[in-house]
Structure 1
Amino acid sequence: MTKRTTINDAILIEDGQDLERIVKDKRAQWRANNAKARRRQRRYKKKLIAELPRIITDIHSTYPEDEA
């Protein structure tokens, strides 16, 4: 069984295609129908997208650019 997507997986996103690759619903086969599975995937994607600004800020504060 695949690992469920977590908020921490947002670190792995570099472009839009990564979002599709990263988001996994390990319980997709147990959903009542395909519409509910798609809806759940959409929620996972929204959570990861909402988390991106915080992660970008953390990365920039951890590794500040050299200023001349």
Structure 2
Amino acid sequence: MPQRTYPKDASKIHSASDLEDVVVDKRAHWRANNAKARRRQRRYKKKVVTHLVHELYENEEFDQ
């Protein structure tokens, strides 16, 4: 079973296409239907992207 996606996994993303590889729903086959699985993937992606944006913003702030 693949690992759950955590916000700290944002460090593994170097380009936009890496997002699909990093974000994994380990319970995808247990979801009631495909719509719920897609919704959950969207939430995982949003968490990772938000964390990545916050990291970038914090690093920029300290560079100035």
CA drift of 1:59 comes to 8.6
The RMSD of aligned alpha carbons is: 1.8
Partners of 1:36 and 1:53 lie apart in 2 by 26
Q: TM-score, normalised by structure 1?
A: 0.80
Aligned pairs (5 A) from 1:1-68:
1-56=1-56, 57-58=58-59, 61=62
Q: 1:9-62: per-residue Cα shift (whole Å, max 9, x none)? A: 01111111100000000000100000000000000001111111222234985x
- Please report the TM-score for the alignment, with normalisation by the length of structure 2: 0.84
Ranges in structure 2 where 5+ consecutive residues have no aligned partner: none
The size of the alignment, in residue pairs, is 62
Q: Which has the larger radius of gyration?
A: 1
Unaligned runs of 5+ in 1: none
